[in-house]
């Protein structure tokens, strides 16, 4: 495939390495030094685009790819207030769109575990659930997109919790997400259920960016030649 990389920071470079190893061609690389190359005409030369920038530019980048008629995989977080608009743009332009808060195969299995554990714990009101997420200091958004996905999965099953908050809380209806920024830390997410009798905890720790980059390339391979809106569950069959 010919891939357009929209965002050529640390993640973009890790994606490039994996894509080349898998026999793909990077025909466009857009970073902060060449934003003028981020045009519909340039994107149209690609078979698929992979977008990893930031919350301030992700939506416009995704829509530009759709208007170019190029399937787009997006891993930027912090912009989901406009997610429905992005989906509508995908449908209007008859393109393909895959967003994930995390592309790691291990994290997506962790998502499945989190959903199942939330189902099992739902009847046991004596347990309080909370989340902790740890990332490097260069991560711009807090909580992480992965933590928000985990929290929303829990809220879907736990009738005691009404909303997540990005701080410690003593309110029974609040699901606390604690965000820590420490270097170096590619990413750790912890779900803790605590009671007066015992504690239950599940944890995922990333050791490097390779898992995220590999998952993003797998998603691009899946999305190539497709139309519609997809998720990593579709890619992995989970």
Annotated active-site residue 139? The verdict is yes
8-30-206 Cα angle (round to 5): 20
Question: Is residue 212 within 8 Å of residue 189, measured between CB atoms?
Answer: no
Give dist(CA 70, CA 38) in Å, integer: 13
Candidates 24, 135, 189, 204; catalytic one: 135
Distances (CA, A) of 153 to 147, 159, 230: 10, 12, 18
Closest by CA position to 2, among listed 34, 47, 50, 57: 47
Question: What's the gap between Cα 5 and its chain centre?
Answer: 16
The two three-digit tokens of residue 14, written as one number: 């890790």
Closest CA to 232 of 138, 99, 38, 58: 99
- Of residues 139, 157, 224, 227, which has the active-site annotation? 139
As a whole number of angstroms, the distance between CA 172 and CA 175 comes to 8
- Concerning whether 136 is annotated as a catalytic residue, the answer is no
Distances, alpha carbon 24 to alpha carbons 31, 62, 142, 225, in Å: 19, 21, 33, 15
**CB of 75 closer than 8 Å to CB of 212:** yes
**CB 141 within 8 Å of CB 187:** no
Active site (catalytic) residues:
135, 139
């Amino acid at each position: 495939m010919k891939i357009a990389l929209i965002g050529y920071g640390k993640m973009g470079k890790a994606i490039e390495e994996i894509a080349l190893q898998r026999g793909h061609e990077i025909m466009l690389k857009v970073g902060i030094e060449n934003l003028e190359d981020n045009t519909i005409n340039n994107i149209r030369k690609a078979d698929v685009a992979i977008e990893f920038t930031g919350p301030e530019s992700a939506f416009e980048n995704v829509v530009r790819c759709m208007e170019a008629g190029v399937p787009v995989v997006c891993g930027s977080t912090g912009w989901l207030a406009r997610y429905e608009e992005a989906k509508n743009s995908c449908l209007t332009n008859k393109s393909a769109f895959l967003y994930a808060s995390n592309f790691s195969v291990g994290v997506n299995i962790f998502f499945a575990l989190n959903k199942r554990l939330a189902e099992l714990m739902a009847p046991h009101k004596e347990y309080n659930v909370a989340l902790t997420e740890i990332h490097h200091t260069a991560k711009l958004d807090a909580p992480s997109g992965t933590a928000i996905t985990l929290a929303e999965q829990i809220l879907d099953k736990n009738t005691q919790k009404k909303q997540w908050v990005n701080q410690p809380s003593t309110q029974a209806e609040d699901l606390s997400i604690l965000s820590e920024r420490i270097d170096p830390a590619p990413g750790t997410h912890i779900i803790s259920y605590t009671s007066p009798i015992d504690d239950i905890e599940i944890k995922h720790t990333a050791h490097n960016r390779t898992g995220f980059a590999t998952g993003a390339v797998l998603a691009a391979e899946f999305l190539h030649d497709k139309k519609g809106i997809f998720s990593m569950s579709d890619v992995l069959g989970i």
